[in-house]
Amino acid sequence: MSEIYMPRLSDTMEEGVISSWVKSVGDKVASGDVLVEIETDKAVMEYEAYEDGYLVKQAVSEGDTVPIGAVIGYIGDSPDAAPEESGGGAAEQSGQAEQAAQAEEAEQAPPAGEDSPQPAGGAAEPQAAPAAQDGDGAQQGTRPRSSPLARRLAREYGLDIEAITGSGPKGRVVRADIEAAAKQRQDGAAPAQQPAAQAPAAPAGRGQEAYDDGRASTELPVSNVRKVIARRLTQSKQEVPHFYLRRTIDAEALKAFRGQINEQLESTGVKVSFNDLIVKAAATTLRAHPEVNTSWVDDKLLQHGRINVGVAVAVDAGLLVPVLHDADKTPLSEIATRTRELAGKARDGKLKPQEMSGGTFSVSNLGMFGMDSFSAVINPPEAAILAVGAMRQQPVVRDGEIVARNTIALELSVDHRAVDGAVGAAFLKDLAEVLENPMRIIL
């Protein structure tokens, strides 16, 4: 009898939702068969069997949210096999619960500067030995047992983890305890922020709160993608010292160049967008400015040998950033084709982990929504992200005369720990020159 565990299908995944069981109980399973579709924080992914046998039990139902490492099903040698009941008594059950709690909070690749998950230790020392350490590296008797994720969330919320009672096995402080404490503090602070006579108390029903005007708001379900977006952007703004550089380029030559390229590619069915040109131009410019193609990780500055550009894609659940690997070496027509493929897979929830990892620089374009300019939030551990606004006709001075020219506003958000202002400005200056002389994009 083999257990099927909730796998880690992305570097930021902490839990998964059972989207649908492809195999039913009693079905024969061969290695490589798709067992179940799992919704992660980024996409819906297929999980394959690693051995032959029969699916004898689905331990969780469709729609259930399951932490990393938890058992979701069993594969046996025959369709009539049944999972063995635990025969190890309370000690073994406690150990299994402890493993599940550790899996719930584990993070395979923690953000820069965070504690790394520690392997579980052996049998716990007696409580009388205050210096003994548990599997989390915490000293028993000096601070509560907790996971790296719980400690990180406690720091983000500004909570004293020692004052929080854990609900996990052996009193372990888990993520749910931190979130409950944060909500309790927020709810407790609300009356002090408003005069007592200003607004009536909110109704007790789940999902609605009363506003001063008497209208109600509805609590919407939050997807795994939205939760991860919220957590990572909070981390980025709190931990990454952003600074911003802005420049408006003359896009007349870029517009004409795009028309010429698409005319030549018409018979192939490939169509190059302005964003494709900007992605390729950014990758080309990064070759000349490798100091921008860096990451600040654990007080170390890493300069990347490959130029992998992430392209922000808006989806119903939020925002995904598929990555174009080796974008500086990829032909423009292939960038156009690959970008559309990745964007389609992002909207369908079918991106693979490798298609969302390894980014060293990102481009976010809101020009299609008519935005003149905006400031993008850096996607850690990258050191910079380029925000692209809409093409606009603006009055500019040419040869002493005011004329109408197409322009695009660019804004570079930079991690000041990794890149200095002059270095970022030099990169943006050269990028603008490449875009204003677009033949340099493909040379």
| Coil, helix or strand at residue 435 | helix
Residue spans of alpha helices (H) in 173-223: 175-193
Protein fold of 2-76: OB fold (Dihydrolipoamide Acetyltransferase, E2P) (2.40.50)
- Nearest in space to 83 (alpha carbons), one of 92, 98, 94, 72: 72
Supply 279's token pair: 């992605």
pTM score, whole prediction: 0.61
Supply 142's token pair: 């000096």
Write the secondary structure of 130-178 as one string of H (helix), E (strand) and C (coil).
Answer: CCCECCCCCECCCCCCECHHHHHHHHHHCCCHHHCCCCCHHHCECHHHH
Q: What is the pLDDT of residue 20?
A: 86
pLDDT along the chain (443 residues), means of 10: 83 79 92 87 78 92 88 90 54 42 44 37 35 42 59 78 76 76 70 41 44 66 75 85 96 97 94 97 97 94 96 86 96 96 89 88 95 94 96 92 96 97 98 96 86
Q: How many CB atoms lie within 10 A of CB 315?
A: 17
DSSP string, 310-332: EE-EEETTEEE--EETTGGGS-H
- Nearest in space to 305 (alpha carbons), one of 316, 294, 297: 294
Strand 361-365, strand 384-398: pairing:
parallel
Q: What is the pLDDT of residue 306?
A: 96
Q: How many CB atoms lie within 10 A of CB 330?
A: 19
Q: What is the pLDDT of residue 390?
A: 96
- Cα 125 to Cα 122: distance, rounded to the nearest angstrom: 9
Protein fold of 139-188: Dihydrolipoamide Transferase (4.10.320)
Q: H-helix or E-strand containing 105?
A: helix 89-105
- Cα 104 to Cα 66: distance, rounded to the nearest angstrom: 8
Q: What is the pLDDT of residue 59?
A: 92
Q: What is the residue type of 297?
A: V
Q: How many CB atoms lie within 10 A of CB 200?
A: 10
- Nearest in space to 54 (alpha carbons), one of 27, 72, 84: 27
Supply 419's token pair: 């890149």
Asked whether 254 and 438 are in contact (CB, 8 A), the reply is: yes
Q: What is the residue type of 295?
A: S
- Cα 338 to Cα 19: distance, rounded to the nearest angstrom: 27
Q: What is the pLDDT of residue 12?
A: 64
State how far Cα 5 lies from the chain centre. 22
Q: Give the active site residues.
A: 416
Asked whether 354 and 334 are in contact (CB, 8 A), the reply is: no
- Cα 339 to Cα 310: distance, rounded to the nearest angstrom: 10
Q: What is the pLDDT of residue 192?
A: 40
Domain boundaries, the chain: 2-76, 139-188, 241-442
At the fourth CATH level, which superfamily is domain 241-442? Chloramphenicol acetyltransferase-like domain (3.30.559.10)
Q: What is the residue type of 246?
A: R
Beta-carbon contacts of 376 under 8 Å, excluding residues fewer than 6 positions away, are: 312, 362, 364, 385, 386, 387, 411, 413
Q: What is the pLDDT of residue 149?
A: 64
State how far Cα 276 lies from the chain centre. 23
